[in-house]
Amino acid sequence: MVHIPDYRLARERMVKNQLIPRGIKDPRVLDAMGKVPRDRFVEEALVNEAYNDHPLPIGHNQTISQPYIVALMTEALKLTGKEMTLEIGTGSGYQTAILAELSKRVCTIERVRPLMVKARTVLAELGYNNILFKAFDGTLGWKEYEPYDAIIITAGAPKIPQPLLDQLADGGRLIIPVGNRFSQELIKATRKKGNIIQKNLGGCRFVDLVGVHGWKD
């Protein structure tokens, strides 16, 4: 009989020991983080590190973000379950799964097609049916389904891409790391009656957002 590890306790410890002590309070976010199996989104050789609080490589010079950053960015979006959410940078699909738990629908864009295909397969195996996928330049957004109530960009940019701001609904929230290629500040932008209000949520470090309105490859 093949032994299949059960990581439920590891997820519980992650929430209790990493997320709550660092200030994550939204019960819906904590529930989602405790439910989604991060071990399904990492390389097999790294599965025992899946619930440690640090990023891990997923190939193609990309990473899966540390759990705390995923929770922090998700909490800042203030999702209620009714949102049309746009994710730029599908990556492993882990953040996508968290968003799918908390949104009505998720549109996710990944420029590296093999990563998108792998993430789509894992997410389908886990039963998610409220996610749309696209292999594309994420800095251009996805106009077909605009406006978005929430937009999350999981890569660092020199500035907020204008097409993403243009696709943000009134009252919508956008989260993006902005800075140079070595360090960024996590910025929350909210559209209120046509104006964009920005708030700095603190320092972070992400891979590059590559595209027409991002860094050049």
pLDDT in the model for residue 110: 98
pLDDT in the model for residue 194: 86
* 212 domain-assigned: no
Q: Between vectors from CA 141 to CA 136 and to CA 145, what angle results, nearest 5°?
A: 105
Please give the Cα distance from 23 to 105 (Å, whole number): 27
pLDDT in the model for residue 137: 98
Beta partners for 196?
Answer: 191
Percent of the chain with pLDDT over 70: 98
Side-chain-facing half-sphere of 157: CA atoms under 13 Å: 25
Please give the Cα distance from 77 to 189 (Å, whole number): 10
Q: Into how many domains does the chain fold?
A: 1
Please give the Cα distance from 161 to 111 (Å, whole number): 15
* 3 domain-assigned: no
Domain membership of residue 86 as a residue range: 8-204
CB 41 within 8 A of CB 92: yes
Please state whether beta strands 168-179 and 148-153 pair in parallel, antiparallel, or not at all (unpaired). Answer: parallel
Which is the catalytic residue, given 65, 92, 103, 183?
Answer: 65
Percent of the chain with pLDDT over 90: 96
pLDDT tens, 152-191? 999 999 999 999 999 999 999 999 999 999 999 999 999 9
* 59 domain-assigned: yes
CB 14 within 8 A of CB 33: yes
pLDDT in the model for residue 6: 76
Residue 155 belongs to a domain with what CATH number? 3.40.50.150
* 70 domain-assigned: yes
* 217 domain-assigned: no
Q: Which residues of the chain, if any, have pLDDT below 50?
A: 1-3
Q: Is 92 a known active-site residue? A: no
pLDDT in the model for residue 69: 97
* 210 domain-assigned: no
pLDDT in the model for residue 5: 65
* 39 domain-assigned: yes
